[in-house]
A = this chain, B = another copy of it.
């Protein structure tokens, strides 16, 4: 007899499970249900629809060959039944039934299943401050939200906006509002950096600079206390720790929360992070119920801890695994290393693994390098700077994380992905030094930035390279901690010598081997060059001459420029 499969949720994982299962099992009776009328869409495309890169909402639920992915499409082409505007109310695990309700008519009925798949996704968090549910306070979690925001834009009624939350969605939406619509956008983040769960402070500063460069009013370490509606006028008032901000619209991008009510009510086990708990076959504690996508929690394969990771890419890969297992095969999904990327105006930002802070919290003794280098051969005309930070454990030399940013987004992705795929099975610093990636001048340097990030870390671990990062340097220098030895050419150094006087000493690298006696041997110094490779070399040289208390600035002036362009 044909197996009855019911899939609850039809956005990313659900349709993937259904379509692959249909190919694997032509007999199975597959029913896909969703409470929405729009299904099987690219939710990650919403900011690009709002921002005008994508004109037509339908593009987000069309296939590559321009077919609309609606109920008819699934029935006629995929051989899968879809029920939309239908909510799953309860799971009767004993009798293998799901109680569903048609949202229009309110009619309820039971659906039998042999195997059930939970693909209930996640929803936007509404933070607990007063006013978070006022009209005009919007979220960005489905196509209806997207339509509503875009409608406001196209009506031209929005002059300014406040986005709450400096995670990926907050950044993407801020870009969408500013870039196409020219809306004065304030982005509020309560941590002291953007993308706090994704990036360490060095790359985060580069991202913040890109946001500000493009006109986003970025407020960090700022907390929203409440939102008031104007009694008479249209618009809202956002009250924060530092003041009151009138605005036409507020967009909440404070993260998402897995939809687990249905599962929890049925006694399906949840994990500590609040997502549904699954094994490597993506089965819940009920062997007839699978779950995947944004509603489950996943093992982080670097930290070993379970966490939430709401990503359409993981959902799709998991969907394939579930379908294979449903049809009697054996396929595993072991977890995630947290690979992530986001476009922020003109730069691509990617990461995998743990940030320095997360590594510390996990119990490692982390150490990191920061490297700034052209992404293509420096003599090749289209080369752009790429900034890479690599985190490793001091004792084991194991790589814990990588972050990068740069103007050629695909190239940033190339660097991070290569380390990301190795994190699962473990990779140490020495392997990064020799990592064999594609080389030709239009694509990379002979010693690529990724190798140099490893080389730098190797030298730091060996004690030869004693660094300070640009962000820490800016703080320390403003505290008059040390003088700076600038080994760049006279031309590059002059503005700084003029600005900082005797606190900024210029000895060009070419003269260092003869002029080093000018430097007092016991003076603590910062050493700077343009990208950090020559300042390291100078540090090593000075050390052999007894000038030992030096810190060289990782990524050099290139990194300072994207950390604080005003410096």
Contacts and interface: CB of A to CB of B under 8 A. Distances in A.
Interface stretch (A124-132, A403-411, A496-504): A403-411
A536 to B, nearest CB: 8
28 contacts: A16-B447, A26-B541, A45-B379, A63-B378, A65-B488, A65-B529, A65-B534, A168-B440, A311-B439, A312-B439, A316-B446, A317-B433, A317-B434, A320-B433, A321-B434, A343-B443, A352-B436, A375-B410, A409-B443, A411-B414, A413-B414, A413-B443, A413-B444, A414-B414, A414-B417, A418-B418, A418-B420, A424-B436
B379 A23 contact: no
B64 A531 contact: yes
A276 interface: no
A339 interface: yes
Contacts of A374: 64
Interface stretch (A157-165, A330-338, A468-476): A330-338
A413 B411 contact: yes
A420 B441 contact: no
A378 to B, nearest CB: 4
A410 to B, nearest CB: 4
B45 A377 contact: yes
A448 interface: yes
Interface in A411-445: 411, 413-414, 416-418, 420-422, 424-425, 430, 433-444
A258 to B, nearest CB: 18
Interface in A16-57: 16, 19, 23-24, 26, 42, 44-45, 48, 53-54
A340 interface: yes
Nearest to A382: B53
Interface string A140-170: 0000000000000000000000000000100
A76 interface: yes
A460 interface: no
A420 B433 contact: no
Nearest to A336: B436
A12 interface: yes
Contacts of A331: 430
Contacts of A379: 42, 45, 48, 54, 59-60, 62
A333 B380 contact: no
Contacts of A422: 421-422
A71 interface: no
Contacts of A540: 23, 26
A225 interface: no
Nearest to A301: B436
Contacts of A410: 375, 408-411, 413-414, 443
A interface secondary structure, majority: mixed
A350 B402 CA distance: 23
A341 B437 CA distance: 9
A26 B531 CA distance: 23
A348 B45 contact: no
Interface in A484-527: 488-489, 509-510, 512-513
A433 B323 CA distance: 13
A537 B23 contact: yes
A447 B316 contact: yes
A54 B339 contact: no
A399 B337 CA distance: 22
Contacts of A48: 379-380, 441-442
B339 A79 contact: no
Given A313-B447, A413-B411, A438-B340, A381 B53 contact: yes
B348 A443 contact: yes
Contacts of A434: 317, 321, 333
A442 B65 contact: no
A366 to B, nearest CB: 21
A120 interface: no
Nearest to A536: B23
A63 B529 CA distance: 13
Contacts of A464: 23-24
B339 A438 contact: yes
A44 B311 CA distance: 39
A416 B19 CA distance: 28
